[in-house]
Amino acid sequence: MACPEEQVREATAPDGTNVHFDAPTPVGGREPYTVECTPASGSIFPIGESTVDCKVTDADLVRAACGFTVRVTVSQTLAHTKFMAFGDSITEGVTSLSPMMRLGPPDTYPYKLEQILLQSYPSQPITVSNQGESGERLDEGAERLPVVLDAEHPEVVLILEGVNAVWLRSTSSQTRDLRTMIEAAQQRGVKTTLATLMPVGPKWEAKHPGSMDRIRALNTNIFTLAAQYNLGNVVDLFSLFEANMYLIGQDDLHPTAEGQTRIAEAFRDEIVRRYETHATMSRR
């Protein structure tokens, strides 16, 4: 009997993928035939190369055998797979529906980001931990971050924080807090991605005069910090939301559920730009 040619499939999960193939067709001998292949068609094949051994026995117990290779490839991967989203209520998942409510995990940007990445890189066990803390100011975040980094041990931290009390605290003090957070991550070998603060709407600005000026000033310094510490591109959420203010909810501060999706997509784009590799990888 003649076995199929080499089968090549793309991995669909960290453990490989299930592969279906046609059983070899015996020629000659006397029916009925018994054909067995190991591993069987439909089995999960690991990333890398595997050999399928097939055997046939006819009615006279005459036997024949053949084999072929199944190769499971990974065409694109991320250099890092353990992410931590750090910030305030926007990261935690508060939205400004009336009354104010906290979104369930599937609607928060960290969870959405995790799902997007898992769909794009199914061969890798990617996680995005949500470490948002409602009401947190940047100085409080700078104090909390080292503790969370030591507990979570992420490879990459995504920082979106600073809008709480932005109208009260000086830009220099806010910038100093961010610098402290960046250095805490770098001391632990954790890569950092910064995001700009999103704009606030007119109702929020009226209640907290000076917010927009302070947000713009801090965002300017966020770009400067990213350059000083060689962090790479900043995820510019300010520009994204300024052009699409409908993504800000009824309180003129928190994003809508769709806004959370757009945040996830913005971080996704930067993660892909930084960490995606295209070399085919084989594992045994």
What's this model's pTM, rounded to 2 decimal places? 0.82
Q: What is the pLDDT of residue 25?
A: 86
Give me 188's structure tokens.
Answer: 């632990």
Question: With a cut of 70, which residues of the chain have pLDDT below it?
Answer: 96-105, 279-284
All structural domains of the chain with their residue ranges: 7-73, 77-277
Could you give the CA distance from residue 173 to residue 92 in angstroms, rounded to a whole number? 24
Give me 113's structure tokens.
Answer: 């980001």
Question: For the segment 107-118, what is each residue's pLDDT rounded down to a tens digit?
Answer: 899 999 999 999
Q: Are 114 and 158 in contact (CB under 8 A)?
A: no
Among the CATH numbers 1.10.3720.10, 3.40.50.1110, 3.40.1160.10, 3.50.50.60, which is that of 77-277? 3.40.50.1110
The stretches of the chain forming alpha helices (DSSP H) are: 89-92, 109-120, 138-152, 171-187, 202-207, 211-228, 237-242, 257-275
Handedness of CA 266, 96, 165, 108 (dihedral sign): negative
Cα 259 versus chain centre, distance: 17
CA angle centred on 23, ends 20 and 26, rounded to 5°: 170
Q: What is the pLDDT of residue 105?
A: 67
Architecture of domain 7-73: Sandwich (2.60)
Could you give the CA distance from residue 278 to residue 284 in angstroms, rounded to a whole number? 19
Going by C-beta distance under 8 Å and a sequence separation of 6 or more, which residues neighbour residue 67?
A: 3, 51, 52, 53, 54
Q: What is the pLDDT of residue 228?
A: 98
Question: For the segment 9-40, what is each residue's pLDDT rounded down to a tens digit?
Answer: 988 888 889 999 998 988 888 889 999 999 99
Helix axes 257-275, 109-120, angle to 10 degrees: 40
Q: What is the pLDDT of residue 13?
A: 86
Q: What is the pLDDT of residue 104?
A: 64
